[in-house]
Structure 1
Amino acid sequence: MLKNFFITCAGTDKNIIENCGNGEQNKFVGIGATVFFTAVMATIAGSYALYTVFDNLYAAIFFGVIWGLLIFNLDRFIVSTIKKTGSRLNELLQASPRIILAVIIAVVISKPLELKLFEKEINQVLLTEKIKMTIDTKAQIAQQFTPEIEKINSEIDVLKQEINQKEAATNTLYETYIAEAEGTKGTKKLGKGPVYQEKREKHDASLSALHQLKKDNLEKIESKETTIAALVENQKLAETTSQPIISNFDGLMARVTALGKLPWLPSFFIFLLFLAIETSPIIAKLIAPKGEYDFKLEDTETAIETWVQQQVQQRAQMLKANIIIDNKVYKDISEEEELYSYKQKIARDLMKLQADSFYKKQQKML
């Protein structure tokens, strides 16, 4: 039963292979087993590859089985259609499309296994990338908010500077009227005379203006500090919002890119392993010597080809003979006087009818 199954996997003609020796049958059992186990490996690799994409076990298994059946059918078809002609070059040309496809499939299938084998190294690369992305993202977000915050801080500094300047001017006026009262400066007369009173009034007016300026500017400063606090909060919110996106930067494409930053030699050997698995059915058929089955298959096919050629040639000769006979028959008929007279009479009647019809149409138009 297992032997028949593998022979079926090899795509052989059972009517022919059953009449071959055990050695020839065992050769195709080996080829069929290679086709089957290649499909099994394709199913496993395809399922894992799709699992990394969909993260759903049932969907991955379903599509993996479809992929395995596709590879099985393709290998079985190509193995069964490679004819042992005795020319290695001719056989290699027949297998070249499958070999090219095997290279493509090997690249696609080997990647998921590489991702699993080098998972720790890839995670390290991704961690470095995430840290760099976090720093870059914070810098980009800061570029959006920092200019506005610095502008508002500059405005606050100007308001504080106005208060300090007014406070210094008021203090100077205070020292002036005190020195006038003590007689150390100004008129240098001890006591509170008219000059003292004038300087005292200037100081009091400046002090009142200072109080009002402090009140107005402090309100403005408080409003601007509230705006800065809101901008800082929005900046933190933007950073917090971007963080989950960076944290989830570990999809299939990101991992493949990270894999490309690792040393290439281990990945290359894994690729060669899958390439060998994918091409094994073709290689098994190519290196197998031409045997009893191949001779019998060639005999059957050439017999059918010869029969078809005979049938085509016979039909061509029959057609040629019929054309010659028909030409001769119609030539003889064309020379008969009776047929000529009959067709002459018909043509005369037809011309009369046409003349009558034209005459009636002309009458209606007048």
Structure 2
Amino acid sequence: MLKSFFILCSGADKNLLEGCSEGEQTKYVGIGATVFFTAVMAFLASAYALFTVFESIYPAIAFGIVWSLLIFNLDRFIVSTIRKRESFKSELLQASPRIVLAIIIAIVISKPLEIKIFEKEINTVLLKEKNAMALNNKKEVANYFKTDLDKNKADIDSLKSEISKKEKEVNALYETYIAEAEGTKGTMKLGKGPVFKEKIAKHNLASAELDTIRKNNLAKIAEKELLNKQLQADLDKKVTETQPIIDGFDGLMARINALSKLPSLPSVFIMLLFLAIETSPIIAKLLSPKGEYDFKLEDLETALKTTLEQDKYQRSLLVKTSAEMHDKVYADIANDKQLYDLQRKNASDLLEMQSNNFLEKQKKTL
């Protein structure tokens, strides 16, 4: 049963192969097994490739089955249509489209398995890239809020500076009226005279202004600091919201790019392995010697070709002979005097009828 299945996979004529030797049958069993296992490898590789994209097993299996059947049918068709010829170059030329397709398939299919094989190394590269992206993201978000934060900070510093400036003014007036009272500066008279009262009045006015400024500015500073906290909270929220996008940066394209940053030699060997697997049915067919089955198949094809050429030649002779016979028949008829007179009489009658009919139509128009 397994032997029959692999012969079916090889695309060989089962009835024709049954009359061949055991060794010839074994050759085609091997070719069919190569075709079958190539399709199995195509299923595994394509299913895993799709699983890395959608992370769902059912679409991956469905796509893998479709892809493996496509590869199986294509390999079986090409292997069954390659005819053993006297020239290996002509056989290779016949198989060249499948070889080109095998190269493309090997490149496409090998990548997902390379990603799986070098998963730890790729994760290390992705981790570095994610960290760099997280830092850049924080800088970009900080730059986005920087204008508002800087303006808010400048306003707070300005309000504090205004309070500090007024405090210095009040302290200076305090020292002035104390010095006047002690007689160390100003009028140089000890005691609380008119000048002292004038100076303490200025101090009291400035102190009242300081209280007002301090009250107003501290309220504004509190608002600014609250706004500052809100801006910082928005900044942190923005960073938190964008972080999952960075954490999710591990799709198929990201992993392929990360794979390209690793040494290329291992990837080349894996691709060559898949190229060998994909081309193995064609190579098995090309390398197999021309055997009993090929001679029998060639005999059937040439016999059919000869029969068709004979039929075509006979039909062409039949057409040619028939044409010559008809030419002779009509030549004899053309020389028959009785038929000529009859044809002349019929033509005359027809012309007379046409003339009479025309005359009747002319009369009706008058």
TM-score of the aligned structures, taking structure 2 as reference length: 0.91
Which residue identity does 1:205 align to in structure 2?
L
Which residue identity does 1:75 align to in structure 2?
D
| Cross-structure match for 2:139 | 139
1:338 aligns with 2:352: no
Instruction: Give the CA deviation at 1:317.
Output: 3.5
TM-score of the aligned structures, taking structure 1 as reference length: 0.91
* Structure 2 SS opposite 1:154: helix
Instruction: Give the CA deviation at 1:125.
Output: 0.8
| Cross-structure match for 1:48 | 48
Structure 1 CA distance for aligned equivalents of residues 351 and 53 of structure 2: 83
Contact 1:24 1:293 in 2 (8 A): yes
Q: Does the C-alpha gap of structure 1 residues 170 and 267 become closer, same or farther in structure 2, counting only changes over 3 Å?
A: same
Structure 1: segments with no counterpart, 5+ residues: none
Which residue identity does 1:154 align to in structure 2?
A
* Structure 2 SS opposite 1:249: coil
Which residue identity does 1:342 align to in structure 2?
N
Q: Does the C-alpha gap of structure 1 residues 199 and 250 become closer, same or farther in structure 2, counting only changes over 3 Å?
A: same
**1:97-151: per-residue Cα shift (whole Å, max 9, x none)?**
1111111111122122211211111111111111111111111111101222012
Structure 2 CA distance for aligned equivalents of residues 347 and 169 of structure 1: 139
Structure 2: segments with no counterpart, 5+ residues: none
**1:280-338: per-residue Cα shift (whole Å, max 9, x none)?**
11001001111111111111111112222222333333334445555666677678343
- After TM superposition, the structure 1 stretch with the greater mean CA deviation from structure 2, 64-73 or 134-143, is 64-73
| Cross-structure match for 1:13 | 13
Instruction: Give the CA deviation at 1:245.
Output: 1.2
1:69 aligns with 2:69: yes
Instruction: Give the CA deviation at 1:345.
Output: 3.8
Q: Does the C-alpha gap of structure 1 residues 160 and 280 become closer, same or farther in structure 2, counting only changes over 3 Å?
A: same
| Cross-structure match for 2:257 | 257
Instruction: Give the CA deviation at 1:279.
Output: 0.7
Structure 2 CA distance for aligned equivalents of residues 26 and 117 of structure 1: 36
Q: Does the C-alpha gap of structure 1 residues 267 and 184 become closer, same or farther in structure 2, counting only changes over 3 Å?
A: same
| Cross-structure match for 1:195 | 195
Q: Does the C-alpha gap of structure 1 residues 84 and 358 become closer, same or farther in structure 2, counting only changes over 3 Å?
A: farther
Write the mapping of 1:164-183 to structure 2, written as runs, cut at 5 A: 164-183=164-183
Structure 2 CA distance for aligned equivalents of residues 217 and 274 of structure 1: 75
Structure 1 CA distance for aligned equivalents of residues 353 and 219 of structure 2: 121
Structure 2 CA distance for aligned equivalents of residues 319 and 354 of structure 1: 46
Which residue identity does 2:350 align to in structure 1?
I
Structure 2 CA distance for aligned equivalents of residues 43 and 69 of structure 1: 8
Structure 1 CA distance for aligned equivalents of residues 362 and 241 of structure 2: 93
Which residue identity does 2:346 align to in structure 1?
Y
Structure 1 CA distance for aligned equivalents of residues 134 and 319 of structure 2: 84
Structure 2 CA distance for aligned equivalents of residues 343 and 328 of structure 1: 25
Which residue identity does 2:8 align to in structure 1?
T
Q: Does the C-alpha gap of structure 1 residues 195 and 302 become closer, same or farther in structure 2, counting only changes over 3 Å?
A: same
Contact 1:334 1:340 in 2 (8 A): no
The share of aligned pairs that are identical, in percent, is 56
Structure 2 CA distance for aligned equivalents of residues 212 and 347 of structure 1: 133
**1:323-364: per-residue Cα shift (whole Å, max 9, x none)?**
55556666776783432442454355446656766886x78x
* Structure 2 SS opposite 1:276: helix
**1:75-96: per-residue Cα shift (whole Å, max 9, x none)?**
1100000010121110001111
Structure 2 CA distance for aligned equivalents of residues 359 and 89 of structure 1: 87
